[in-house]
Amino acid sequence: MPKVALVTGGNRGIGLGITQALLAEGYAVAILATRPEPTELITELSRSGEVSYVQGSVAELDDHARYVDAALERWGRIDLLVNNAGVAPSVRADILEAEPESFDRVLGINLRGPYFLTQRVAKVMIDQQRPEATAADGAGHAAGQAAPSVRGTIVNVSSTSAVTVSTNRGEYCISKAGVGMATQLWAARLAPEGVLVYEVRPGVIATDMTAGVKDKYDEQFAGGLAPMPRWGTPADVAGAVVQLAAGRMPYSTGEIINVDGGMHIPRL
């Protein structure tokens, strides 16, 4: 039986990179995204493992039920939730001018939706059996003392915008700062249940989301935006998710992994 991962927005950009990496690790992957099922892509991904697709919005709580139930019906358990789906504001507007509709849309998709999807999936994880402990789980534990195995893992994809202001997309920054707090909340609440919760914080990653500001960031990378003078890739972010999901850090939760070429390091 494969391990089962839910990856919201797993059909494009960073999410697609995460889907591909998890399939390569032997996971079955359930994707939630808004567009009609991209059948060619799903067929292609299915060559690497089991994939399912639910069309729906992470902002709609009714869609969460369909998404989670479909995965449980097919595979019977959920080992990993990656809250990846997210949007930038449709219009970058100075916070003196920005519209409440954009605030509600961005917060609904980036923060409220994942918060309640986490609530639903956490209950599933709490109710399910811990997988059989492996020899690796026991490493470092005294003889006769069973190492606690991980019952499930939740990874939130936030952003460097959680801690970096952009005054022309305040709602995005606030949504990602909120994801940081949600990570801490869920990590604390789910720790006694054997569910680990982490935050992956990407810097500037080459996807559709950043395609419209490519020239600006090309220039900024050339000017030293990050110690590593290049854009990040979906595979860079996926690598962090795979590491966190591997369960090799069972006594760590609530951690933040920056995937930003060192951009978060204060420099003089």
Ligand X SMILES: NC(=O)c1ccc[n+]([C@@H]2O[C@H](COP(=O)([O-])OP(=O)(O)OC[C@H]3O[C@@H](n4cnc5c(N)ncnc54)[C@H](OP(=O)(O)O)[C@@H]3O)[C@@H](O)[C@H]2O)c1
**Stretches 54-62, 120-128, 136-144, 245-253: which one binds ligand X (CB under 6 A)?**
54-62
Is 247 near ligand X (CB under 6 A)?
A: no
34/243 with CB nearer ligand X: 34
Is residue 31 within 8 Å of 54, Cβ to Cβ? yes
At residue 6, φ and ψ (nearest 5 deg) are -100, 125
55/184 with CB nearer ligand X: 55
Distances from the Cα of 4 to the Cα of 21, 22, 74, 194, 212, angstroms? 13, 9, 10, 17, 34
Is residue 67 within 8 Å of 56, Cβ to Cβ? yes
Going along 147-204, which residue ranges are E strands?
A: 152-157, 195-202
32/197 with CB nearer ligand X: 32
The residues in 56-115 that bind ligand X, with binding defined as CB under 6 A, are 57-59, 84-87, 109
Which residue among the candidates 172, 198, 217, 251 is catalytic per the annotation?
A: 172
The residues in 162-221 that bind ligand X, with binding defined as CB under 6 A, are 202, 204-205, 207-210
Is residue 149 within 8 Å of 130, Cβ to Cβ? yes
Cα separation, 194 vs 148, whole angstroms = 8
The residues in 1-30 that bind ligand X, with binding defined as CB under 6 A, are 8-9, 11-15
112/189 with CB nearer ligand X: 112
Cα separation, 96 vs 80, whole angstroms = 39
128/166 with CB nearer ligand X: 166
Cα separation, 264 vs 241, whole angstroms = 19
The residues in 30-49 that bind ligand X, with binding defined as CB under 6 A, are 32-35
- Least distance to ligand X from the beta carbon of 37, Å? 10
The residues in 145-164 that bind ligand X, with binding defined as CB under 6 A, are 157, 159
Is residue 33 within 8 Å of 55, Cβ to Cβ? yes
* 53 classed as catalytic: no
Catalytic residues: 172
Interface with ligand X (CB under 6 A) = 8-9, 11-15, 32-35, 57-59, 84-87, 109, 157, 159, 202, 204-205, 207-210
